[in-house]
């Protein structure tokens, strides 16, 4: 896959960071894929529970990205799932999930990805998601459109909950009854659902028109930020997400969809949030 020329633009610009993000995503994806092929050798640990897994692959892939950034933009901040927050002075904050979908990764399923987003003064300005098993790179820069392996993405408003599939995410931070209720309401409305194990991957599938929408009642910023930018630049809609202060670390509901499905999916989500998350 051809990458942008890193020397083509001034090194301190957003475009230069966007170019670097694509290189980082590919290099990180290559490292993660090497671990994926040797996953039986990895030591697996749990974080908050038996379903919340982490391995040396997650930590080392994030360290690789941090090494890139320390060398190229030492003044930028970094927020990563595995190594926490490193403050910066430039107003830029990189938000990194080295392997989104760790459980799928460790169980030999291809539904995982590398996610790299960027905030500038608490505004979302860029996102890159690399899906190594599919050799796909989704990328977007604010007001610059979204691409998949260099080809432009633009969503079709004719895609609805009824004529497509909807991605549903779940974790043990929410009542299991809520997951069932959301799926029940979606199917009662004439839709159907999939769950791959990676929220970031399902979100970029929305941007690519493969899914009508995606909803998960509780996600972290590193799971969704990059893909939110890609969805928006492809012509989709998404819920607001807290991008500053303590709310940024607390996380919250994540919902994105194409223009023909957003309102219907949002109604289902809000109905269940009022019932289960008050």
Q: What does each C-alpha distance from 184 to 180, 190, 268 come to in angstroms? A: 6, 10, 10
Does the CA dihedral 200-204-210-216 come out positive or negative?
positive
Task: Find the mean pLDDT for residues 233-255.
Answer: 93
Q: Which of 214, 170, 165 is nearest to 192 (CA)?
A: 165
pLDDT value at 77 more than 90: yes
Residue 61 confidence (pLDDT) above 90: yes
The answer on pLDDT for 56 being more than 90 is no
pTM of the full predicted structure? 0.93
CB pairs under 8 A, 24+ apart, for 2-9? 2/150
The predicted pLDDT at position 52 comes to 44
Higher local confidence (pLDDT), 262 or 6: 262
The pair of structure tokens assigned to 160 is 């609805």
Tokens 């839709």 -> residue:
191
CA 217 to chain centre: 15
Q: Which domains does the chain have, with CATH numbers?
A: 14-153 (3.30.540.10), 166-276 (3.40.190.80)
Residue 168 has pLDDT above 80, yes or no: yes
* Side-chain half-sphere CA neighbours of 198 within 13 A: 29
Q: Is the dihedral of CA 208, 213, 216, 219 positive or negative?
A: positive
Residue 170 tokens, joined: 């779940």
Listed residue (254, 211, 262) closest to 115, CA to CA: 254
Residue 263, C-beta contacts closer than 8 angstroms, at least 6 positions apart: none
């Amino acid at each position: 896959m051809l990458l942008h020329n890193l020397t083509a633009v001034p090194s301190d610009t957003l475009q230069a960071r966007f170019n670097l993000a694509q290189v980082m995503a590919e290099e990180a994806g290559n490292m993660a894929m090497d671990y994926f092929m040797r996953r039986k050798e990895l030591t697996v640990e749990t974080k908050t529970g038996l379903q919340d897994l982490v391995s040396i692959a997650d930590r080392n892939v994030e360290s690789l990205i941090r090494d890139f950034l320390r060398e190229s933009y030492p003044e930028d901040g970094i927020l990563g799932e595995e190594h926490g927050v490193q403050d910066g002075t430039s107003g830029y904050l990189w938000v990194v999930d080295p392997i989104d979908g760790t459980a799928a990764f460790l169980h030999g399923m291809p539904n995982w990805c590398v996610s790299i987003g960027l905030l500038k003064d608490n505004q979302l300005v860029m996102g890159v998601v690399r899906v190594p098993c599919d050799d796909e790179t989704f990328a977007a820069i604010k007001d610059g459109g979204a691409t998949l392996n260099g080809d432009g993405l633009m969503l079709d408003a004719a895609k609805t909950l009824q004529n497509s599939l909807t991605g549903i995410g779940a974790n043990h931070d929410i009542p299991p009854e809520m997951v069932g209720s959301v799926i029940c309401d979606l199917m009662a409305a004439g839709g159907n659902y999939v769950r791959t194990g990676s929220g970031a991957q399902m979100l970029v599938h929305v941007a690519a028109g493969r899914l009508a929408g995606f909803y998960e009642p509780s996600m972290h910023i590193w799971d969704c930020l990059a893909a939110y930018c890609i969805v928006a630049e492809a012509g989709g809609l998404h819920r607001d997400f807290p991008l500053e202060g303590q709310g940024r670390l607390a996380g919250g509901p994540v919902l994105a969809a194409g223009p023909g499905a957003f309102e219907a999916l949002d109604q289902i989500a809000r109905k269940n949030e009022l019932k289960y998350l008050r």
